[in-house]
Structure 1
Amino acid sequence: MDLYLRRRLVNAVALAAACAAAVLGLLFLGWILWTLVAKGLAGIDWALFTQDTPPPMAEGGLRNAFYGSAVMCLMAILIGTPLGIAAGTWLSEYGAAARIATVVRFVNDILLSAPSIVLGLFVYTLVVQQAGGSFSAVAGALSLAFIVLPVVVRTTDEMLQLVPVQMREAALSLGIPQWKVTVQVLYRSAMPGIVTGVLLALARISGETAPLLFTAFGNQYFTLDVTHPMASVPVVMYQFAGSPYTSWQDIAWAGALVLTLFVLLTSLVARAIVARKRVNHD
């Protein structure tokens, strides 16, 4: 009986500590979100989306930064997604029995957990310095693509492994080539999970600052040339939030709110895709 009471006491203490930690974390999260909404709403207006970043003590917006972030994120997705899907397909379908597959998965896990600033420095050394010291949106997209790549590789590999073996055997028994089985059978079954991984990677890179500081750098003006420095929302937030100018701080808070809403929307879409896949599967 004493042992039973001791176990119940330990369980009650552990449960209380876990609940207290969860409540504390939710309180801080709610505080952060409330501060973000309270300060960010004050800077949301039409000028935020139609005017470029202003000089000190002047009115302006984030049009050039929104465009730059959209372009670099889109380029990163276009670079990282095909390579990630191809690598994940090879790991799952062609190189599963090879020793090198274990090495590739290990390196991919390292890249997945690598600090983004390290990836930015790598692209800075490889692209910016080698290209004559020119910052550009292309270099920024490459640094973000290195963040997208391991996420897509891991997602594709796991989603294809979840496809039942019977589907492969049934398709191969009909005389269908392996590549056609992969494209027409396996991809169709795993596509919702792969798309979810791509959307989560997009949500992650949309808020990255450190890689862009070393690659895209920033630009106060609107530009369509991806071979030159280009503004981005995270970099502008980093620059404006620490400034002594109230107008810049308001723009930084508004940009943070818009970026948070975008990440939230992307995450909700990813969850909706997963939920729809489960419903269709059931």
Structure 2
Amino acid sequence: MNSDGLSEFLAVSRAGTFTGAASALNVSVAHVSRQVGRLEARLGIKLFQRSTRSVRLTTAGEQLRKSSEKISDDLEKAFQEVSNTQRKLEGRLRIASMSGSFADQVVGPALNQMAAQHPDIEIEIDFSPRQVDILSEGYDFAIRAGPMQSSGLIAKPLSSRTRVAAVSPDYLKAHGVPRHPRDLKDHQCLLTNAKFWRFSENKKQLDVMVRGRLSLNAGPAILDACMRDLGVAYMALAGFGDAFATGAVVPVLQNFWHRDRSIHLVRPDRRFSPRRVDVAISHLETIAKRVEAKERAELEAIRSH
């Protein structure tokens, strides 16, 4: 990259001055100016409009910047991959994760698998509903559910979940079948911490206000209440365990269940993370995809009930 002037060109485009570019590259201003000049001469185009105080990309310069940034990123990734293969995987991982069915099905198995394959890795997992401060508390990444707020960190979708509505057979006999989410106003709903339940209708979100005399924040407790004929449960499929298979609960409102990308992996800038972090994330993504595929098959079977 240095010999053809692209590194210097990119540094100037990022810094906005030749002096700033020279400082970033730890070279002289004359070297940067010479390399950019040679690049312009070779291409036969002007890349910058120069003034006494700053430089501005020309249209051709902007086009080259966009293409060169991708090349630079690809080379950096290639160099990193080659370097990583030569390094032994070791060190400590510190991860914060929500608890619940996703943690049981994906997070625990994925990181246990990694620990078995890499004996020199130490892994600490904090299963807690608390939203940790990743940077100040020294976590490598966190796994969170729900909408992401702007935090200066990178939030990557890790998995989607389908919320499933169900009741016990005896509840159904006593209270009838809700045909539409709005019918829930006439039913006891097993609440979590939300006043609205989100459904899908004609590929659009439908938020319905719900009511109930029980408010629970744990999947096992919601399932137990549902099987005791206390109301309508609406939660991720995994929370029902084998209750559908055994007939302890039956599905309702199948055409309105909502699926969204509600589980994210939140991390600092990936360019500065050690290889063990990327390997851990790869394990998580692999297990998450496997669990999603299994869930899709189970959902089809339940919907056809």
Do both share a fold (TM > 0.5)? no
Larger helix share, 1 or 2 = 1
TM-score (ref. length: structure 1) = 0.30
Larger strand share, 1 or 2 = 2
TM-score (ref. length: structure 2) = 0.28
Q: Which has the higher contact order (CA 8 A, sep 6+)?
A: 1
